[in-house]
Amino acid sequence: MPPIRVTGPFISITVGSPETRLGVSVAGGVGPINIPIINIPATPGFGNSTDAPSSGFFNSGRGGTSGFGNFGPDTSGFFNFTRNLGSSGLLNAGLLQSGIHNFGNSISGFENTSNLDLEFRALNSGLGNVGSRLSGIFHNSSGASTFNLGSANGGGLNFGSANLGSFNLGNGNIGGFNIGDANHGSANFGFANFGDNNFGFGNLGDFNLGFGNTGVGNIGFGNTGDYNIGFGNTGSGNIGLANTGNGNSGVGFTGSNLFGFGGLNSGTNNTGLFNSGDGNTGFFNSGEGNFGIGNTGSYNTGIGNTSTANTGIGNTGSFNTGLFNSGSLNTGLSNAGSTNTGNLNTGGLNTGDFNTGSGNTGYYNNGNLNTGAFNSGNRNNGYFWRADDRGQFGFDFGITMPGIPLNIGVNVDLAIPVTGFIDGIAVQPFSMDVPIDLNLFIDLPSPIPNVTIPLGDGESITVEIPKIVINRFDLTGFNVGNVGGIPFSRMHIEIINNVGPISVPILHIPAAPGVGNSTINPTSGFFNSGPGAGSGFFNAGQFISGFSNEGGRFLSGFENIGQLTSGMGNIGNIVTGWYNTSTAGLTGALLSGIGNVGSRLAGFLLSGTGQ
């Protein structure tokens, strides 16, 4: 059989026309619409936001509780924080507790602390125990005492508050056997020493006697180096005043192993007496660009400062405004941490006093980012919290419209004209050979024998098939919706539902550390903005403590603008003191003192650029 070719058809169909209209009828209703302004449902208690009914005041969480300010299920008492299973008492954090100020799982008594995760039962009872499976009073799992006379201590046998360590007499110490406040190390006597076995104030190193020494074994103040006796020496093994070098005995030498008196000033561009550095104004300065007495650092204003751009007395850190700070960027007194606004802080970024944690606004906190006092947890608002994220509050005010009934019926009538044509179909002509293999057999009656006549053997006949054409036919107009005279049923769509509920937020204040903060990172204090991660009041920026500071990073004090700045009313980068203004742009100005305008200046009411 040969191949057969068929051509066509071309089909053209038009649905609808410019005059076509789709008949749609809609009927229904929306509403009624209720807009509640204030809706306080009647529930047990007052101000509770628990899932299950609770009695009492301002309880939250899963509920089924009673009391005041509790969070969690099945809890009674005051300000307890409970996970999964209930507690009773006051200020407990954990689960299955009774008593006062306990932390952990399965604890009774007073001031007990578990050292296990909250998923594991501590089984503690008694008073002031730290560990697990303990009873009695004031001991830990290793048998050491946990007795402290004070608040917010981490350790044992401390007399004071906010100490992290043991056997401290004072406040805010990190370490052991310190007498004084804000020491960071062990066996220090005094304030804000950073190291071990120091006697004095603001020493940075070990075995120093005096204040403002940086190094080891110095006696005096403002020495930088090791084993100096006197003040303002830079180097090691000097005895005397304002020597620069090693092994000198005397006053104002620049060199080594000298005895007696050097020149009145042995440096260059000094104003005063016995200065051995450069560009100093005052007495016994051995650094550069200092104003005052016995400074061994650079661009300091004051007495006995051993680092850079301090305004004050006995600062061994850098960029401080105040006294005896062994940290940096502090505004205050005897801070061993950095970027604090306050006094005697061993942590950093605090606004307040005696904080051993960081980012606190308040007093005696050894946790972080607390607003309040005596908190050993983190991100708390209030007092004496041992858990995290307690005392936070938020506020939401808005309008919630309940679901709006919607009832709509839609009818659609279809009558769409369809026209077009289908072109002809052509079967092209073809031929084929028909093979023939045929014998004709004639059956004759007897006695005449049968006869077979061969008609063809192995031959064929060619058959020609002409072109076959099916002519075009047109589609006369008919309507979808009424085909062949059969009417099409009307389409009916019915919608019965509710729209909403619709919530319109008006004011949203999320629960967070502090009050009124809009910072990106958690911040303690009040009404701070910007990246955050600091403390204080009305600050805008990152890593800031104090009041109304604005700028980049690392500011402490009051109303400063810039970065790496402490003090009050300063503008610029690396500025300390009061009301100084940098002219160095983003470059570090190295300004200290009062009322200076320029860069690399120390002193009072100066302008220009120093060395």
Mean predicted confidence (pLDDT) in 82-88 = 85
Minimum mean pLDDT range among 92-106, 200-214, 458-472 = 458-472
Rounded CA separation 469/266 (Å): 123
Mean predicted confidence (pLDDT) in 343-352 = 94
Place 514 in a pLDDT band, splitting at 50, 70 and 90.
very high
Rounded CA separation 432/127 (Å): 114
In 58-142, beta strands by DSSP E: 60-63, 71-73, 76-78, 81-82, 88-90, 93-100, 103-110, 113-114, 130-131
314, 327 contact by CB (below 8 A): no
The answer to whether position 318 is within a domain reads yes
pLDDT of residue 441: 62
Q: Which of 8-17, 282-291, 390-399, 502-511 shows the highest mean pLDDT?
A: 282-291
Strand 341-343 to strand 331-333: parallel, antiparallel, or no bridges (unpaired)? parallel
Report which of 564, 610, 556 is spatially closest to residue 583, judged by C-alpha positions.
610
pLDDT of residue 428: 75
The answer to whether position 273 is within a domain reads yes
Full DSSP string of 386-397: -SSS-S---EEE
pLDDT of residue 479: 57
pLDDT of residue 491: 65
Place 538 in a pLDDT band, splitting at 50, 70 and 90.
very high
pLDDT of residue 99: 94
pLDDT of residue 298: 93
pLDDT exceeds 90 at position 339: yes
Specify the 3-state DSSP secondary structure of 286: coil
Tally the C-alpha atoms within 13 A of residue 69's C-alpha that lie toward its C-beta: 15
Residues comprising the chain, all counted = 611
- The mean predicted confidence, pLDDT, of the chain is 86
pLDDT of residue 610: 81
> pLDDT of 187-211, one tens digit each?
999 988 999 999 998 899 999 999 9
Specify the 3-state DSSP secondary structure of 174: strand
Number of domains in the chain: 1
Place 401 in a pLDDT band, splitting at 50, 70 and 90.
confident
pLDDT of residue 21: 64
pLDDT exceeds 80 at position 220: yes
Rounded CA separation 557/362 (Å): 15
Place 473 in a pLDDT band, splitting at 50, 70 and 90.
low
Q: What angle do CA 140, 141, 145 make, to 5 degrees?
A: 25
Report which of 215, 380, 360, 332 is spatially closest to residue 576, judged by C-alpha positions.
332
Report which of 179, 140, 134 is spatially closest to residue 158, judged by C-alpha positions.
179
pLDDT exceeds 60 at position 482: no
The answer to whether position 56 is within a domain reads no
The answer to whether position 85 is within a domain reads no
Retrieve residue 354's tokens: 């005696």
pLDDT exceeds 70 at position 460: no
Full DSSP string of 44-59: SSBS---SB---SBS-
457 Cβ neighbours under 8 A, 6+ residues apart: 437
Place 541 in a pLDDT band, splitting at 50, 70 and 90.
very high
pLDDT of residue 517: 94
Place 413 in a pLDDT band, splitting at 50, 70 and 90.
low
The 10 Å Cβ neighbour count of residue 556 is 38
pLDDT exceeds 80 at position 532: yes
pLDDT of residue 396: 74
pLDDT exceeds 70 at position 443: no
Retrieve residue 185's tokens: 């190390």
Rounded CA separation 120/519 (Å): 36
The answer to whether position 222 is within a domain reads yes
Q: Is residue 144 packed enough to be buried (19+ CB in 10 Å), middle (13-18) or exposed (0-12)?
A: middle
pLDDT of residue 458: 54
Report which of 457, 412, 459, 467 is spatially closest to residue 433, judged by C-alpha positions.
459
The answer to whether position 216 is within a domain reads yes
Q: Is residue 36 packed enough to be buried (19+ CB in 10 Å), middle (13-18) or exposed (0-12)?
A: exposed
The answer to whether position 427 is within a domain reads no
How many percent of the chain have pLDDT more than 70?
Answer: 86
pLDDT exceeds 60 at position 485: no
Minimum mean pLDDT range among 17-31, 203-217, 399-413 = 17-31
Mean predicted confidence (pLDDT) in 438-442 = 59
382, 68 contact by CB (below 8 A): no
pLDDT of residue 313: 92
User: 458 or 496: whose pLDDT is higher?
Assistant: 496
399 Cβ neighbours under 8 A, 6+ residues apart: 35, 36, 37, 503, 504, 506
Does the global pTM surpass 0.75? no
The answer to whether position 217 is within a domain reads yes
pLDDT exceeds 90 at position 47: no
pLDDT of residue 98: 94
Q: Which of 126-130, 272-276, 369-373, 416-420 shows the highest mean pLDDT?
A: 369-373
Strand 224-226 to strand 234-236: parallel, antiparallel, or no bridges (unpaired)? parallel
Minimum mean pLDDT range among 40-54, 367-381, 468-482 = 468-482
The b-or-e profile of 344-357 (16+ CB within 10 A means b, else e) is bbbbbbbbbbbbbb
Place 416 in a pLDDT band, splitting at 50, 70 and 90.
low
Q: What angle do CA 552, 553, 557 make, to 5 degrees?
A: 100
Mean predicted confidence (pLDDT) in 20-36 = 69
Q: Is residue 529 packed enough to be buried (19+ CB in 10 Å), middle (13-18) or exposed (0-12)?
A: middle
Structural domain range at position 274: 179-328
pLDDT of residue 151: 81
In 128-265, beta strands by DSSP E: 130-131, 179-181, 189-191, 199-201, 204-206, 209-211, 214-216, 219-221, 224-226, 229-231, 234-236, 239-241, 244-246, 249-251, 259-261
